[in-house]
């Protein structure tokens, strides 16, 4: 039975399809770029070629010793996920020694790097009270009447209308597991004074006794301040700032360093105006890492101190956090969806149950209290949940739960219901701010705390030399393949050369476009992947052309052998390329950043080579099969094979070639 003749195939259709792909690809390259024509065609380069920023994170443990190797590796993976959440950018994240993690990203900006360096554990704490950060407050004249307008107006306090709000799944139905009953805490037991926060055992922090000695009588004056009175005074309380004598006594606190402030009890950190949010945010990493102790923290560049309850929900209890557009809004309103774990581990309740407990306390004004101070007769105060801040509908008080990462508050949304597995944070989000918050929440739970040991800029001088060497190696490799092809296949070598050129142009366009779209950056490892892909492309040529020779040896004419060879070689070519692509996928999933760059480049180039094989190589061979040059054995490079076929056919007493 004769196979379909070459006339039944229309090579022009395949070539037009390939031309359309090139037109669309390079239109996107030009349309999505900016700057000069050269800038539009410039691919994104990795740190080893273009330079960039490198940060060394020093692990900190409570006793100052090196962390466990498994915990450090877990931290490395989470930091790498944070970096990768920003796109494939050839970032390098690796462990150095037994207590450091190195993060390197291409480019000269370190903004993103500083974000991934916020690596303390995430804690969710109920907000007990807030107060205006007023570090510049001075002792008023004894005869002066305190002016509440000296502080920011209470209406500017962080409430549901000014910050984010949390909504989500309401209380479970009777068939669901009920939320655990809030357990009693130390603050619900009458006490004479608030329980001071124990001094962190981090070796970088001074001892509390040393700080007391430095403060002298100022410490005793601060310790005597009634926390409950300050908290009841609202965000613009003048219990302290309106007392001229007390303000003068507290002035020594202004000279404390962030490390010295870190060892002070939480009540003193909260009530002393001279302890600013700036210094609170600059406390050493791990200063408020103990989840069983209350804490004081601020938002980044915030204007309020937050008095926070013990941490009943941790980052490990959060299963997922995603930035999405509000589906119920006709506008592009962004929100952050939270999903808490539904199963417990290590004897710990599920994240859904723990989150339900915290939101119930916040919504129903129950649970922990501020505690009582001197003069309160040891009677704990019932929390009023920011009584001065009504909800939007005016029906109840606003209560907040703060997500604390390191020493700063990432977000403190108002709770609008008792929530469990699913919750949503809404507010005045942009796409960037919603994605940043989701990343901080999702990848905030690290088993080890870190501080930045160094932040350096890596120059690209050596990288440019490597780039030239890599490109030279690629050019030499392609040149050798082309020379061998022309020497061995002659006219068929032109098909090989044009295929490699088109594959290189297609790969280059995709490289530029992927750099803008997903942040893929070309590295030395990536160049190596592209060079190796030349061998993969050459293999497909060898498979096809050698199969073509086999068909001719069997007595078929060169023209009829083209389709027969393609039909039999096609499956082998697809299988070989599929194996290469699968190997690249495995390397990308299991490898480190450099190996992933190699795997991504190899897989991309191999996939694009398949497009060239189907849309150019076979159609071009079909067109050449119709030309007199191809039928000339000496020109086509098939002379020796055709000669053997003729002699074999003559000696057998049968036609020298045949059509099948």
Q: What is the CATH number of the domain that holds 74?
A: 3.30.70.3400
Residue 628 CB coordination number (10 Å): 7
d(CA 192, CA 271): 17
Is residue 382's pLDDT more than 60? Answer: no
CATH code: domain of residue 31: 1.20.1640.10
Q: Is 306 left (phi over 0), alpha (psi -120 to 50) or beta?
A: beta
- Check whether residue 636 and residue 608 sit in a common domain: yes
> How many domains, in total, are found in the chain?
3
% of the chain at pLDDT higher than 90: 7
The DSSP annotation for 414-457 comes to: EE-S---SEEEEESS--HHHHHHHHHHHHT---SSEEEEEEEEE
Averaged pLDDT, 506-518: 85
What per-residue confidence (pLDDT) applies to 21?
A: 92
Is residue 598's pLDDT more than 50? Answer: yes
What per-residue confidence (pLDDT) applies to 264?
A: 93
- Check whether residue 106 and residue 70 sit in a common domain: yes
Is residue 150's pLDDT more than 60? Answer: no
Start-to-end C-alpha separation, the chain:
6
Q: Pairing mode, if any, of strands 295-299 and 408-411?
A: parallel
- 520 in a domain, yes or no? yes
Most confident segment among 191-205, 290-304, 529-543, 549-563: 290-304
Is residue 32's pLDDT more than 70? Answer: yes
Between 457 and 529, the more confident residue is: 529
d(CA 25, CA 29): 6
The mean pLDDT value of the chain amounts to 73
- 1 in a domain, yes or no? no
Question: For residues 410 and 444, is the Cβ–Cβ distance under 8 A?
Answer: yes
Nearest to 349 by CA among 175, 187, 178: 178
Nearest to 497 by CA among 483, 507, 510: 483
d(CA 401, CA 310): 11
Question: For residues 52 and 458, is the Cβ–Cβ distance under 8 A?
Answer: yes
% of the chain at pLDDT higher than 70: 71
- Check whether residue 627 and residue 559 sit in a common domain: yes
Is residue 49's pLDDT more than 80? Answer: no
Is residue 621's pLDDT more than 90? Answer: no
What per-residue confidence (pLDDT) applies to 87?
A: 54
- Check whether residue 362 and residue 257 sit in a common domain: yes
Which region among 15-19, 91-95, 159-163, 497-501 has the lowest average model confidence (pLDDT)? 159-163
Could you say which of 408, 443, 478 is where a domain stops?
A: 443
Element (H, E) at 168: strand 165-168
What per-residue confidence (pLDDT) applies to 636?
A: 58
- 147 in a domain, yes or no? no
Q: Phi/psi of residue 10, each to 5°?
A: -110, 90
- 477 in a domain, yes or no? yes
- 455 in a domain, yes or no? no
Is residue 305's pLDDT more than 80? Answer: yes
Question: For residues 99 and 450, is the Cβ–Cβ distance under 8 A?
Answer: no
Averaged pLDDT, 70-99: 72
- Check whether residue 205 and residue 81 sit in a common domain: no
Position of tokens 């601020």? 298
Could you say which of 443, 475, 501 is where a domain stops?
A: 443
Which region among 97-111, 349-363, 568-582 has the lowest average model confidence (pLDDT)? 97-111
- Check whether residue 71 and residue 173 sit in a common domain: no
- Check whether residue 413 and residue 502 sit in a common domain: no
Averaged pLDDT, 492-505: 83
- Check whether residue 439 and residue 302 sit in a common domain: yes
d(CA 215, CA 263): 13
* Whole-Å CA distances, 6 to 16, 382, 564, 573, 656: 18, 89, 10, 20, 21
Is residue 461's pLDDT more than 50? Answer: yes
- Check whether residue 167 and residue 89 sit in a common domain: no
Which residue range(s) make up the domain with 327? 122-139+157-443
Is residue 556's pLDDT more than 70? Answer: yes
- 149 in a domain, yes or no? no
- 625 in a domain, yes or no? yes
- 656 in a domain, yes or no? no
- Check whether residue 525 and residue 579 sit in a common domain: yes
- Check whether residue 392 and residue 466 sit in a common domain: no
Helix (H, G, I), strand (E, B) or coil at 199: coil
What per-residue confidence (pLDDT) applies to 173?
A: 37
3-state SS of 286-343 is CCCCCCCCCEEEEECCCCEEEEEEEEEEEHHHEEEEEEEECCCCCCCCEEEEEEECCC
Edge-to-edge strand list for the sheet holding 92-96: 92-96, 100-106, 52-60, 449-458
Residues 6+ apart with CB under 8 A from 395: none
- Check whether residue 14 and residue 60 sit in a common domain: no
Enter the tokens of residue 404. 């604390």
């Amino acid at each position: 039975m004769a196979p379909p003749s070459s006339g039944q195939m229309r090579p022009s259709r395949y070539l037009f399809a390939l031309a359309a792909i090139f037109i669309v690809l390079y239109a996107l390259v030009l349309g999505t770029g900016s700057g000069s024509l050269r800038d539009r065609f410039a691919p994104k380069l990795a740190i080893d070629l273009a330079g960039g920023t490198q940060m060394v994170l020093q692990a900190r443990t409570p006793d100052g010793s090196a962390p466990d190797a498994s915990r450090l590796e877990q931290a490395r993976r989470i930091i790498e996920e944070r970096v990768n959440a920003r796109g494939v950018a050839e970032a390098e994240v690796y462990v150095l020694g037994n207590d450091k993690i190195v993060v390197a990203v291409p480019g000269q900006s370190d903004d993103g790097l500083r974000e991934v360096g916020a690596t303390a554990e995430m804690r969710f704490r109920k907000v007990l009270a807030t107060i205006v950060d007023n570090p510049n407050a001075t002792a008023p004249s004894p005869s002066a009447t305190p002016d509440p307008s000296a502080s920011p107006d209470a209406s500017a306090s962080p409430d549901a209308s000014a910050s984010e709000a949390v909504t989500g799944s309401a209380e479970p139905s009777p068939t669901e597991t009920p939320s655990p009953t809030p357990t009693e805490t130390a603050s619900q037991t009458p006490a004479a004074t608030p329980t001071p926060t124990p001094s962190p055992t981090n070796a970088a922090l001074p001892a509390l006794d040393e700080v007391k000695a430095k403060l002298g009588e100022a410490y005793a004056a601060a310790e005597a301040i009634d926390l409950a009175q300050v908290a009841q005074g609202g965000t613009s309380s003048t219990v302290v700032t309106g007392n001229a004598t007390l303000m003068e006594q507290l002035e020594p606190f202004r000279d404390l360093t962030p490390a010295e402030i870190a060892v002070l009890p939480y009540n003193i950190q909260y009530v002393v105006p001279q302890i600013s949010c700036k210094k609170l945010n600059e406390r050493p990493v791990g200063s408020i890492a103990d989840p069983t102790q209350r804490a004081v923290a601020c938002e980044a560049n915030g204007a309020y101190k937050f008095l926070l309850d013990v941490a009943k929900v941790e980052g490990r209890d959060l299963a997922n956090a995603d930035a999405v557009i509000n589906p119920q809004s006709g506008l592009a309103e962004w929100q952050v969806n939270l999903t808490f774990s539904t199963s417990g581990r290590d004897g710990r309740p599920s994240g859904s149950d723990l989150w339900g407990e915290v939101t119930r306390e916040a919504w129903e004004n129950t649970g922990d209290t501020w505690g009582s101070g001197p003069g309160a007769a040891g009677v704990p105060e019932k929390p009023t949940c920011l009584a001065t801040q009504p909800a939007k509908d005016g029906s109840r008080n606003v209560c907040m739960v703060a997500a604390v990462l390191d020493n700063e508050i990432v977000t403190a949304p108002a709770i609008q219901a008792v929530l469990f597995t699913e919750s949503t944070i809404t507010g005045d989000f942009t796409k960037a701010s919603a994605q940043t918050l989701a990343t901080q929440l999702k990848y905030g739970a690290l088993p080890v705390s870190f501080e930045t040991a160094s932040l350096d800029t890596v120059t690209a001088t050596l990288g440019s030399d490597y780039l030239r060497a890599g490109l030279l190696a690629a050019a030499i490799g392609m040149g050798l393949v082309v020379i061998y092809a022309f020497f061995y296949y002659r006219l068929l070598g032109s098909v090989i050369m044009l295929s490699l050129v088109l594959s290189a142009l297609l790969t280059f366009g995709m490289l530029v476009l992927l750099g803008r779209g997903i942040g893929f950056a070309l590295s030395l490892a990536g160049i190596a992947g592209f060079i190796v892909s030349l061998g993969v492309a050459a293999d497909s040529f060898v498979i096809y052309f050698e199969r073509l020779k086999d068909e001719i040896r069997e007595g078929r004419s060169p023209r009829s052998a083209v389709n027969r060879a393609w039909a039999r070689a096609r499956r082998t070519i697809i299988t070989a390329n599929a194996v290469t692509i699968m190997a690249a996928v495995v390397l990308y999933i299991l490898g480190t950043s450099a190996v992933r760059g190699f795997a991504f480049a190899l897989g991309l180039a191999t996939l694009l080579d398949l497009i060239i094989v189907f849309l150019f190589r076979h159609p071009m061979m079909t067109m050449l099969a119709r030309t007199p040059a191809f039928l000339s054995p000496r020109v086509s490079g098939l002379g020796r094979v055709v000669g053997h076929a003729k002699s074999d056919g003559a000696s057998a007493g049968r036609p020298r070639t045949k059509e099948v």
